[in-house]
C-alpha cells in the first residue's frame, strides 16, 4: 500500500493539481461498521506514511488531520479516540513531521481550541468544515460542546467560535464540504456572504450534488465556484518610460482579489518580454514589489497597485513587444511547470482571456519599441 501510494503521488506532478489529503480507515456511514484504529496503530501508521508525504510535500495543498473516527472526521470513533488525549497524539505527530511544509486542518473549532488552549489562531493549524453552510451549526463546527467529537468547552460561546473560525480562515486556511441541502444558507446571496466570512480556499461538492443543483437553479453555480480560492483580476496597466533597447520602464499593475480565498504562499513573479512570438527577455520582479499574498479577500475588495522598474534588453528590435507575467509556483519541483502557474482572471479588449494555460503566461500589455539615434 505504501509503495502504491508513493507511485500514485509521483504520477501527479504533471497535472497542475495540488492535493488536499486525508487519511481514513473507513468511508462511513456512522455506525459499528465504520471502524477506525486503536491510537497506537494510528501513531504507527502516521510514522509509516510521513516519509512519503514529506517526499511529495510540494504537491500537498494541506493535510486534513484525519485518521480518527468515521470518514476520518474526528467523531464517532469505534476505538475510543474521541478524546483530547488521542487527538493530541495525532496532531503532535503530524506537526512533528509536517510543520512548516503545509497547513494541517482540524475538523471543529472546539478541537482546535482544546488542543491549543487559546482563541488565537496558531501557525499552520487551519480548519476543514465538512458540513459547510449545511445546517445552523455546520454540524457542531461552531458548537462549544460536542461530546461525540471529543470536546465540551462550556466556558465559550458559539459567537466566539464563529469569530475564531473567521480568524483562522483569514490567517491560515479554511476548506469546506457541503453535507446537506439547506436552502436558507445556500441561497446565492447567503452563501456568497458566508464564503467571504470564512474565506473558502477549497469547496467539496461530493457526495451531495443536490447543493450544486440548488445553486444551478438559482443561477449562481458558476459564479460561486469561480470564486472559491483565489481569483485575481488585473484592472489596469500603466507603462511609462523609454521604450527602446536598453531603456528603462516604470510598470504599474492594479489588481483586486475577487475570490473567497487568497494567495497562501509566496509566489515568485517574472516579467516576460515577447517579440515575434519568441521570448526576448525575462526579468525577475522583486517579491517586495509584487507580493500577491497582500491581496485580501473581501466582499468589497480594495484594489492594490504593484509598481516596479525594469531595464529592457539591448537586443530588442523596432516593433511591438508583449509583456506577460509568469506567476510561478513557490515549490522548487513545480516552479518550472507551467501547469502550476497562477492565472489572472481577466480578459483583453477583445474579450479574450489574458492567461494562456499552455504557456502559463498572463499577457498584460503591448508596447512599441523605437530606435533612437544620437
Q: Which residues of the chain have pLDDT under 50?
A: 374
CA distances for 173 relative to 15, 47, 88, 199, angstroms = 23, 25, 20, 8
304-338: pLDDT as tens digits:
999 999 999 999 999 999 999 999 999 999 999 99
| Peptide bond preceding 29 in cis form (omega within 30 of 0) | yes
**Among candidates 25, 29, 63, which has minimal Cα distance to 42?**
25
20-76: pLDDT as tens digits:
999 999 999 999 999 999 999 999 999 999 999 999 999 999 999 999 999 999 999
| Per-residue pLDDT, 205 | 74
Q: What are the DSSP E strand ranges found in 205-268?
A: 232-241, 248-257
Sign of the CA dihedral 50, 51, 52, 53?
A: positive
**Among candidates 1, 99, 96, 107, which has minimal Cα distance to 49?**
1
Distance CA 247, CA 243 (A): 6
pTM: 0.94
| Per-residue pLDDT, 351 | 93
| Per-residue pLDDT, 201 | 97
Distance CA 24, CA 37 (A): 10
Distance CA 204, CA 357 (A): 24
Distance CA 146, CA 135 (A): 15
Distance CA 176, CA 106 (A): 11
Kindly report the backbone phi and psi dihedral angles of residue 260, in degrees, each rounded to the nearest multiple of 5, phi listed first: -75, -35
In the block, cell 528603462 appears at 248
Domains of the chain: 2-227 (3.20.20), 232-369 (2.60.40.10)
| Per-residue pLDDT, 210 | 86
Amino acid at each position: 500500500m505504501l509503495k502504491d501510494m508513493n507511485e500514485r503521488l509521483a504520477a501527479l506532478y504533471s497535472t497542475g493539481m495540488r492535493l488536499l489529503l486525508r487519511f481514513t480507515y473507513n468511508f462511513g456511514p456512522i455506525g459499528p461498521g465504520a471502524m477506525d484504529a486503536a491510537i497506537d496503530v494510528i501513531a504507527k501508521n502516521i510514522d509509516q506514511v510521513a516519509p512519503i508525504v514529506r517526499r511529495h510535500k510540494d504537491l500537498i495543498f494541506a493535510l486534513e488531520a484525519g485518521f480518527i473516527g468515521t470518514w476520518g472526521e474526528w467523531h464517532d470513533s469505534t476505538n475510543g479516540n474521541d478524546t483530547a488525549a488521542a487527538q493530541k497524539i495525532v496532531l503532535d505527530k503530524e506537526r512533528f513531521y509536517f510543520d512548516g511544509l503545509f497547513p494541517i486542518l482540524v475538523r471543529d473549532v472546539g478541537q482546535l481550541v482544546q488542543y491549543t488552549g487559546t482563541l488565537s489562531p496558531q501557525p499552520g493549524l487551519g480548519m476543514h468544515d465538512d458540513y459547510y453552510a449545511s445546517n445552523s451549526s455546520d454540524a457542531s463546527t461552531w458548537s462549544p460542546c460536542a461530546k461525540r467529537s471529543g470536546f465540551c468547552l462550556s466556558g465559550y460561546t458559539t459567537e466566539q467560535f464563529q469569530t475564531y473560525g473567521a480568524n483562522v480562515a483569514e490567517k491560515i486556511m479554511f476548506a469546506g464540504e457541503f453535507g446537506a441541502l439547506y436552502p436558507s444558507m445556500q441561497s446565492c446571496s447567503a452563501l456568497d456572504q458566508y464564503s467571504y466570512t470564512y474565506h473558502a480556499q477549497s469547496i467539496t461538492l461530493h457526495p451531495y450534488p443536490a447543493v450544486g443543483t440548488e445553486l444551478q437553479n438559482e443561477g449562481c453555480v458558476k459564479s460561486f465556484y469561480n470564486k472559491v480560492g483565489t481569483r485575481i483580476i488585473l484592472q489596469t496597466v500603466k507603462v511609462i518610460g523609454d521604450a527602446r533597447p536598453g531603456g528603462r520602464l516604470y510598470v504599474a499593475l492594479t489588481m483586486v482579489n475577487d475570490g473567497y480565498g487568497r494567495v497562501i504562499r509566496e509566489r515568485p513573479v517574472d516579467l516576460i518580454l515577447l517579440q515575434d512570438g519568441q521570448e526576448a527577455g525575462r526579468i525577475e520582479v522583486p517579491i517586495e514589489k509584487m507580493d500577491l499574498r497582500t491581496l485580501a479577500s473581501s466582499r468589497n475588495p480594495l484594489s492594490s497597485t504593484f509598481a516596479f522598474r525594469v531595464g529592457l534588453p539591448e537586443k530588442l528590435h523596432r516593433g511591438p513587444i508583449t509583456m506577460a507575467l509568469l506567476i510561478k509556483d513557490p515549490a522548487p519541483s513545480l516552479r518550472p511547470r507551467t501547469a502550476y502557474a497562477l492565472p489572472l482572471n481577466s480578459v483583453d479588449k477583445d474579450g479574450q482571456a489574458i492567461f494562456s494555460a499552455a504557456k502559463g503566461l498572463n499577457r498584460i500589455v503591448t508596447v512599441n519599441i523605437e530606435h533612437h539615434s544620437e
